[in-house]
A and B are shown apart, each in its own frame.
Chain A
Amino acid sequence: MPEKFDCIVVGAGPAGTACAYELAKAGVNVLLLERGEYPGAKNVMGGVLYRKMMEDIIPEFYKEAPLERPIVEQRFMMMDKESAITFSYKGLEWGREPYNNFTVLRAKFDQWFAEKAVEQGVLLVCETVAVECIVENGHVVGVRTDRPDGDIYADVVVLADGVNSLLAKQLGFHREWRPDEVALATMEILKLDKNIIEDRFNLEPNQGCTIEIFGDATKGILGTGFLYTNKDTLSVGVGTLLSGLIKHKIKPYELLEHVKNHPMIRPYIQGSEPVEYLAHLIPEGGYHSIPKVAGNGVLVVGDAAQLVNAIHREGSNMAMTSGRLAAETIIMAKSQNDFSESMLDQYRMKLMESFIGQDLKKYKDATHHFERFPQYFEQYIPMLNRAASQMFTVDGASKWEKQQKIWRDLGSTKQKFKLARDMMKAWKVMK
């Protein structure tokens, strides 16, 4: 007779591990399944971990977790072919407790987080793939794994199986994602001497900087490039909606090479040595793409539930919070021994009331808007760069003449109206 657990969590990423951790802490008998050799072996993100949501689970985790650097400066570059307008915020308050966020390398961090969950009593089994949910009388009662004698049962199953969530798809919770609902991010980890990193990015030891790059980083396709500082490596990458890559017929690694060789980026990474190449899909469908997240005996968390705020590059924090909210719901369901959809649907409500639901709702049309109207990235960023160049180039022309030139560069009256209308529309989807 196969063993029965209170709960099976599928996937040891931030969502699954957070959920398993909280459950075990409350005395729930939980099995955490991971397909990789160890948690983190197959997990990818650009590298920003937010302190608050992690601390909701493990207070003062930063005292022992394997983090790279606390981020003290966030830069944003609006980049053209050989120019860029950069704005940034640097605040030393982010460099001391309680910190704001950190760069992390997921292979290390996820492993540590899962170890913490095991200390709480989670049973972690790696190198095991959950291939389908076992459904009896319309109720999920366990999962089937790829191993011999691989069926395993539980009162409730949490699907934290990542962006493609094949298990949720099999249950009919979502269809195959459209190419405009997922982004493809490719990145490299580049080894570079610690002191060189600190010099180039104007940092003290144990300070980090992130740079988000818009415009030519993606050759005008909707998406962003990024460059983050780790201890003695840099993470450089680029992510664009899959639909954009298809439309422009660009291969993802070509785009990454383009970013690495861009004259605005190259000096930062010069002399570094690639040590790792990673690529992953990111769910960026936003609010409209959130699938069904609760069913009889089953909950969906993290990327599997499309919980990513693409505009603010937040995802791991939403994953952790969703995992925690799922755990809260399961603990309540367990106390009443009711794992029906109507009980577990409390999770969806908690999710929508939290910052996750609020933020995703706020930006529900943003990605789709910029996807539909490519001129923001294709035309307006270069235009902004030209305007800055014009204004700051001292060539004897009067400032009034320069303003006239910039004004003319905006195009005909009709084009100017369109520009004004686009700015209004952008404000509307972002506000």
Chain B
Amino acid sequence: MLHIVACIKQVPDTKIIKMNPKTNTMDRASAPAILNPYDAHAVEEAVRLKKKYGGTVSVLTMGPPPAVKAIKKCIELGADEGHMISDRAFAGADTLATSYALTKALEKIAKQRPIDLVICGKMTIDGDTGQVGPGIARRLNIPPLTGVKKVVEINKEKGYAIVQRKLEDGYEIVQSTLPCLFTVEKEINDISFAPLPNMIKAARYQPTIWTADDLENVDRKQLGLKGSPTIVAKVWAPPKPEDGKLLEGSTKEKVEQLLSLVLAKKELFQ
């Protein structure tokens, strides 16, 4: 019986978020809060593995009280239980402090039920760093397997997992010992349409919420803003790509125009 923990985050929907034109930062109030899409795939994969091998799926998040909604979403997807750490002490955390706080929470969860596998999304759509997953693995001292696009096999008795990792030019098949941590790509699965009993369970569900005091052996200096060495020196919007150009005339003329345009920038091809 596997115990899989998915680490998830509630994020503003960056597809529709507005940017503050003066500071170039996200106006978080302008977009609804959603479950980070990559994390939804992480939870989905955890639930699929549970169905295949048996076991329990827990989810863990750090966030303000409204993030309970993201946990409920995971219950809809089929997670068995949710844990949340929420405290002013965690506020302002960068990836280093976040992975520290989540690791402490995972240690607490593991005391109740040992963890075989941690699954995270590849990255969050608000931060885009992809650092928290590997950060947790390093702190838990377990192998991180990033970019997982397919889980081939998990064998708890023999203590290994085999996955496909996405590479720039294909994929590699990797075997790791258990416990380990995956961060998953979107292509790993399609989110299934939740059955009604899950929806009802989620509507009723209240996760356990821990404060910093509930976690054990916590070094408060490593939490929140205090534990975050990252400095955002400057924020700027990516330059807008130039508009495309539509060539006109006969096919021959268009080919000639295109050729001269390409030749004009030939240094790009050298």
Contact = CB atoms under 8 A, between A and B. Distances in A.
Interface of A: 2-3, 31, 123-125, 127-128, 145, 147-152
Nearest to A5: B200
B197 A124 contact: no
B199 A128 contact: yes
5 closest Cβ pairs, A-B complex: A148-B195, A147-B196, A149-B195, A150-B196, A125-B199
B203 A125 contact: yes
Contacts of B196: 2, 125, 128, 145, 147-152
A128 B193 CA distance: 10
Contacts of A3: 197, 200
Contacts of A127: 199
Contact of A123 (B193, B194, B203): B203
A145 B194 CA distance: 12
B180 to A, nearest CB: 31
A354 B193 CA distance: 43
B4 to A, nearest CB: 22
B199 A147 contact: yes
B200 A123 contact: yes
B204 A123 contact: yes
A360 B174 CA distance: 72
Contact of A124 (B193, B194, B195, B203): B203
The secondary structure that dominates the B interface is helix
20 contacts: A2-B196, A3-B200, A31-B200, A123-B203, A124-B203, A125-B196, A125-B199, A128-B199, A147-B193, A147-B199, A148-B193, A148-B194, A148-B196, A149-B195, A149-B196, A150-B195, A150-B196, A151-B196, A152-B196, A152-B200
A124 B203 CA distance: 6
Nearest to B204: A123
B8 to A, nearest CB: 18
Interface in B166-205: 193-197, 199-200, 203-204
B65 to A, nearest CB: 14
Contacts of A124: 203
A2 B200 CA distance: 11
A145 B195 CA distance: 10
A31 B204 CA distance: 11
B170 to A, nearest CB: 35
Nearest to A124: B203
Contacts of A123: 200, 203-204
Contacts of B200: 3, 31, 123, 125, 152
A83 to B, nearest CB: 42
A20 to B, nearest CB: 13
Contacts of B199: 125, 127-128, 147
B216 to A, nearest CB: 34
A2 B196 CA distance: 9
Contacts of A125: 196, 199-200, 203
Given A2-B197, A125-B199, 15 more contacts: A3-B197, A3-B200, A31-B200, A123-B200, A125-B200, A127-B199, A128-B196, A128-B199, A145-B196, A147-B193, A147-B196, A148-B194, A149-B195, A150-B195, A150-B196
Nearest to A147: B196
A152 B196 CA distance: 8
B194 A147 contact: yes
Contacts of B193: 147-148
A3 B195 CA distance: 13
Contacts of A149: 195-197
B195 A147 contact: yes
Among B193, B194, B196, B197, the one with the most A-chain Cβ atoms within 10 Å of its Cβ is B196
Contacts of A150: 195-196
Interface in B137-157: none
Contacts of B204: 123
Interface string B55-86: 00000000000000000000000000000000
